[in-house]
């Protein structure tokens, strides 16, 4: 298991490529032997062993993963139409510090709020946890 196990962060599940309102916040958690995402209502969107996850990171910073046979598109930042994370979601990640090794460069920070760097970090952490990623 990677040194990055035990991490949780709010990312966005892009449920539609075109409708920004359907890009919703989820708490993405990587625990020993478990990858889990929970939506605004606390419902588990997906849960599985990270060693059974496969996927890839796109050039634009979308993490495309397959969990239990279903594909999910995760991004580091929602659209202007996306709902805000709930107080419960913020509370779920309140004890988690952002890692100091995540940097996306000036372009990513200025134009994207560091979203690409966050998803690149998730790609690395999942790979370290045994996911089959390209």
Q: In the 3-class helix/strand/coil scheme, how is 95-128 assigned residue by residue?
A: CCCCCCCCCCHHHHHHHHCCHHHHHHHHHHHHHH
Quick one: average pLDDT of 74-79? 92
Residue 124 within a domain: yes
Instruction: Please tell me the predicted confidence (pLDDT) of residue 34.
Output: 96
- Count how many residues are written for the chain: 134
Query: Sign of the CA dihedral 37, 46, 74, 116?
Result: positive
CATH of the domain at 60: 2.30.29.30
Instruction: Please tell me the predicted confidence (pLDDT) of residue 5.
Output: 44
Is 120 in contact with 59 (CB distance < 8 Å)?
no
Residue 1 within a domain: no
Instruction: Please tell me the predicted confidence (pLDDT) of residue 19.
Output: 85
Instruction: Please tell me the predicted confidence (pLDDT) of residue 114.
Output: 67
Q: In what order do the strands lie in the sheet with 7-14?
A: 44-48, 34-38, 23-31, 7-14, 70-75, 63-67, 54-57, 132-133
The pLDDT tens digits of the residues spanning 4-49 come to 448 899 999 999 888 888 999 999 999 999 999 999 999 999 999 9
Is 27 in contact with 92 (CB distance < 8 Å)?
yes
User: CB neighbours (10 Å) of residue 64?
Assistant: 16
Query: Which of 130, 134, 117 has the alpha carbon at shortest distance from 9?
Result: 117
Q: Structural domain tally of the chain?
A: 1
DSSP lists the bridge partners of residue 54 as 66, 132
Residue 2 within a domain: no
Which residues constitute the domain of residue 72?
Answer: 7-133
Instruction: Please tell me the predicted confidence (pLDDT) of residue 112.
Output: 56
């Amino acid at each position: 298991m990677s040194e990055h196990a035990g991490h949780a962060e709010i990312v966005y599940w892009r449920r539609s490529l075109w409708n920004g309102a359907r890009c919703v916040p989820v708490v993405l958690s990587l625990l020993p032997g478990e990858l889990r995402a929970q939506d605004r209502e606390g419902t588990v969107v997906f849960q599985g062993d990270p060693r059974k996850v496969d996927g890839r990171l796109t050039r634009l910073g979308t993490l495309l993963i397959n969990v239990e046979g279903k594909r999910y598109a995760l991004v580091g930042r929602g659209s202007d139409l996306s709902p805000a994370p709930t107080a419960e979601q913020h509370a779920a990640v309140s004890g988690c510090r952002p890692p100091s090794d995540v940097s996306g460069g000036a372009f990513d920070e200025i134009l994207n709020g560091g979203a690409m760097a966050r998803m690149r970090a998730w790609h690395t952490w999942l790979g370290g946890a045994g996911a089959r990623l390209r």
